[in-house]
Copies of this chain bind each other. A is one copy, B any other.
Amino acid sequence: MLVGKVVGSLWATRKDEKLNGLKFLLVEKQLNETEVSPELVVAVDHVGAGVGEQVLITTGSSARISFENRTLPVDMVIVGIIDSVEYPKEE
């Protein structure tokens, strides 16, 4: 799973019907305590996350099965809002 920070949102009116009602958030992948990936990804919110929050992301088929309807065409879901991360202390 990945640690990310919500940095924006995305809207798409013309989309697969099964995606109606879902919130698409733009997420910056945090590689470690100080580095982020240049690649922003889109994750479906499942826990009420907002811009600026640090989140836990699940990908692949494991992402879609977090929903009641397990056949949603989604491959990245926010499954938790992180309280704290205990990063390794500098040796």
Contact = CB atoms under 8 A, between A and B. Distances in A.
Interface of A: 1-3, 7-16, 18-19, 24, 26, 28, 31-32, 35, 37-44, 46-48, 56, 58-66, 70-77, 79-88
A83 B76 CA distance: 20
B62 A74 contact: yes
Contacts of A11: 82-84
Given A19-B79, A48-B14, A83-B11, A62 B73 contact: yes
Contacts of A31: 38-40
Copy number in the complex reads 5
Given A1-B41, A42-B2, A62-B74, A86 B26 contact: yes
A43 B77 CA distance: 16
